[in-house]
Amino acid sequence: AALGRPPSSAAMVAFEPAADQALTATPLSATNAAECCEGQELAEAEASLAWLSKLHEERKELLSENQRLHEAVGSAREMALQKLEKAKRERVRLQSNNRKLRELTEEARVLAKAKAEAKALQAVDKELVQ
């Protein structure tokens, strides 16, 4: 809620045509002029106080909203860090699994090669025995 600037006495008179007409309709004596100015100053002071009060309330609301947003950002940051740590652990686990799979694949190749060589030797042995 934008409150704008505090009302000035000129702006207040411009927005109150009845007061403006009353001032121009009656001749002002020195006492009436003093009372009028005091009244205007009082009205302006009251309007300024009301404006300051609204401004203070808006400030409190904004500070409250700011605090809520800081808490939300902190919570989101914490959740993001937890997800990041979980992703890092998962990456390490997958890297370990991939390393084990490569080792097992290599071992399977060695075993397959050894089995083929054993078969070849058995075939040679059978020929030699005959």
Q: Which of 88, 8, 11 is nearest to 44 (CA)?
A: 8
**pLDDT confidence of 41, banded at 50, 70, 90?**
confident
Mean pLDDT of 26-44: 62
Higher-confidence residue of 119 and 38: namely: 119
Tens of pLDDT, residue by residue over 104-127, are: 999 999 999 999 999 988 887 777
Query: How does the average pLDDT of the chain come out, rounded?
Result: 80
Domain ranges of the chain: 9-91
Which pair of structure tokens corresponds to residue 18? 């009845």
Contact 39, 28 (CB under 8 A): no
**CA distances to 28, 63, 120, 125 from 128, in Å:** 142, 96, 12, 5
Q: What is the rounded CA–CA span in Å between residue 46 and residue 54?
A: 12
Q: What is the rounded CA–CA span in Å between residue 7 and residue 78?
A: 46
pLDDT number for residue 38: 75
pLDDT number for residue 13: 41
Contact 32, 26 (CB under 8 A): yes
* Residue 81 host element (H or E): helix 30-129
- Single-letter amino acid code for the residue at 26: T
pLDDT number for residue 35: 56
